[in-house]
């Protein structure tokens, strides 16, 4: 009886090893996102003066999708993170800290990702987790995910709303971001001033659907990212 029990236990241990039950996990890369305005930590509801707008701006909503994280070494992709779709939300501190698991010993000198959701994912329809439509970042199957929502008011109380998205050519709005880093702990600044100071809100106070203007403003939004 004792011998049979020992054999059974040994069999279970071997089974766990063969099925990956004790498989060694890869190393973790931390990605911390810090919303900023002119290098100052952004606070919802606080007014910030814009030289370009000649007005003070307050931001109540700042949400965006970052996706498709890939690691490069000397210009060659060495790892693509699976299912890396992250909804970043200034009003949800937990969303500003993410971790990616990569193979142990992976050498890289650059991380690339998308500002927005790619056309393939949009064509697949609605997703789950951060891609769940209940998050309020999905238009419809024809127009897909909203890559960024930026809403607020100017000092006189005039509202502005920028809902940037669109995945169908010629108005595909997602943008590739590239950051040079070999670190396992990264803080990425997202400076709204680089976006809001790049055009006149008197000319464009609102974008609520895909189109040429959404693509142009998405290209400007891609300039917000930098490694801190």
Could you give the number of structural domains in the chain? 1
In a domain, 114, yes or no: yes
Task: Give the number of other CB atoms < 10 A from CB of residue 71.
Answer: 22
In a domain, 98, yes or no: yes
In a domain, 1, yes or no: no
Tell me the per-residue pLDDT of 7-54, one tens digit each, with 9 for 90 and over: 544 445 444 444 444 445 799 999 999 999 999 999 999 999 998 999
In a domain, 78, yes or no: yes
> What local confidence, expressed as pLDDT, does residue 100 receive?
96
Helix, strand, coil % in the chain, rounded to nearest 5: 20, 40, 35
In a domain, 81, yes or no: yes
- Highest mean pLDDT pick, 22-26, 77-81, 154-158: 77-81
Between β-strands 146-154 and 47-50, what pairing exists: parallel, antiparallel or unpaired?
A: unpaired
Match 């003070």 to its residue by tokens.
Answer: 56
Cα–Cα distance for residue pair 31/1, rounded to 1 Å: 53
Containing domain of residue 222, as a range?
Answer: 28-227
In a domain, 110, yes or no: yes
- Looking at the whole model, is its pTM more than 0.85? yes
Q: Are 158 and 203 in contact (CB under 8 A)?
A: no
In a domain, 217, yes or no: yes
Cα–Cα distance for residue pair 154/50, rounded to 1 Å: 10
In a domain, 20, yes or no: no
Q: Are 114 and 86 in contact (CB under 8 A)?
A: no
């Amino acid at each position: 009886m004792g011998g049979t029990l020992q054999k059974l236990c040994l069999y279970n241990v071997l089974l766990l090893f063969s099925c990956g039950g004790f498989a060694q996990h890869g190393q973790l890369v931390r990605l911390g996102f810090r919303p900023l305005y002119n290098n100052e930590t952004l606070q919802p509801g606080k007014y910030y003066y814009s030289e370009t707008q000649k007005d003070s701006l307050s931001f109540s909503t700042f949400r965006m999708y970052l996706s498709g994280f890939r690691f490069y070494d000397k210009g060659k992709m060495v790892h693509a993170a699976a299912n890396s779709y992250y909804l970043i939300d200034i009003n949800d501190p937990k969303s500003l800290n993410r971790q990616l698991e990569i193979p142990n010993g992976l050498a890289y000198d650059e991380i690339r990702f998308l500002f927005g959701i790619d056309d393939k994912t949009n064509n697949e329809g609605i997703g789950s987790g951060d891609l769940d439509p209940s998050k309020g970042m999905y238009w419809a199957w024809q127009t897909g995910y909203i890559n960024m929502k930026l809403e607020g008011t100017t000092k006189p109380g005039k509202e502005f709303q920028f809902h940037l998205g669109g995945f169908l050519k010629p108005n595909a709005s997602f943008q590739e971001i590239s950051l040079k880093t070999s670190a396992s702990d990264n803080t990425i600044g997202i400076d709204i001033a680089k976006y809001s100071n790049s055009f006149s809100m008197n000319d464009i106070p609102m974008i609520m659907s895909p189109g040429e203007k959404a693509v142009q403003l998405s290209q400007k939004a891609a300039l917000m990212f930098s490694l801190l």
